[in-house]
Amino acid sequence: MYLIYSKIYLLLMKSAILVGGQAVIDGVMMRVPGAYATAVRLSDQTIHFQKHQFVSIIEKHQLQKLYFIRGMIHLYESMRIGYSTLDWSALQQEESKTTQSNKIVDIAMTIFSVLLALTLFLFLPIFLTTFFFQEIVNSPLYFNLISGGMRIVIFLTYLISISFLSDVKVLFQYHGAEHKTVYNFESGQNLDVKNAQSFPTQHPRCGTSFVFIIMLITIFTYTIIDSIALLFINELTHFHRILFHITCLPLVAGIGYEVLKLLSKNQNNFICRVFSKPGLWLQNITTNQPTDQQVEVAIYALEKAFGDDIKKYTGNKYTADAIG
């Protein structure tokens, strides 16, 4: 069950940065230009890692100027990397070593996690709004304001609920360790546990900020989509909305990516900082203060991801940008 919680959490939070990554089970995945590495702390306290070379489709085919499209590609690639590293981290733990990985079970669990996430955060708000506010079914703005509000409430309720689970608390600690390590790297200071621990656990380019931006954007984009649909049909049923909204999810993600990219690059701008605040507040739920040992794992993952190339970056200050 914990792996399902983790997969849904990953689905919601997934937004990598140029140097960044995600928390996995008892560890951290770090992604850097050209590669990513995952490190986990085993029960005997040793750190185990794996590294993969990776070049984005966006870089391979020079798609950096394809706005919105690049965000869709980025999200797909991040999800693929995220799920594979999460599954790998689960297999490293002692209780998993006695059993062989079952690809069919892994695929079924992933599909179930995606369907559960869609049910909670897309189908349920649409159904509840249609059921309780029948009179505004054909009023796109009011309908999407209410369903969007419900979506945010369900999202917050879900995060707060799972945050009390002991395994998820540890996952959120590793999430905090990832952010502190990224901050340490961006600062140009020597990359070590002491320096990393001096930074906050909240980071403006976190997936928590991304998902909150997406939830706000869906209100406006789905209002436009519903308005266009009403030009061709007389009434929007919940079936119509589910069909249209799922179809347009990649576009919404692409728009959200561009907004996050804009906000993250302009943190010196007062307006951008204000719009980033809700995502940072939400990270009070999704990140916990990590231990020194957890930060050590995050630093280890970053160093392994860079390899010898880390010497080129040491001592320089960076403002990490969204990949793509």
Dump pLDDT digits (tens) for 3-57. Answer: 665 666 555 555 434 556 889 999 999 988 889 999 999 988 999 999 999 888 8
Least confident span in 58-72, 100-114, 231-245: 100-114
> Can you give the pTM of this predicted structure?
0.84
Task: State percent of the chain over pLDDT 70.
Answer: 87
Looking at per-residue confidence, does 62 or 127 come out higher? 127
Q: Given pLDDT bands bounded at 50, 70 and 90, which one contains residue 223?
A: very high
How does the average pLDDT of the chain come out, rounded? 84
Q: Given pLDDT bands bounded at 50, 70 and 90, which one contains residue 323?
A: very low
- For range 114-131, the mean pLDDT: 89
pLDDT for residue 30: 93
Q: Contacts from 149-156 at CB under 8 Å and sequence distance 24+? A: 150/124, 150/125, 151/121, 151/122, 151/125, 151/215, 151/218, 152/212, 152/215, 154/120, 154/121, 154/124, 154/125, 155/12, 155/121, 155/211, 155/215, 156/282, 156/285
- For range 116-126, the mean pLDDT: 89
Ordered by start, the domain boundaries in the chain are 2-313
pLDDT in tens, 256-297: 778 877 777 777 778 777 777 887 888 889 999 999 999 999
Residue 95 has pLDDT above 60, yes or no: no
Burial status of residue 270 (CB atoms within 10 A of its CB: 0-12, 13-18, 19 or more): exposed
Please list the residues that pair with 48 across neighbouring strands: 40
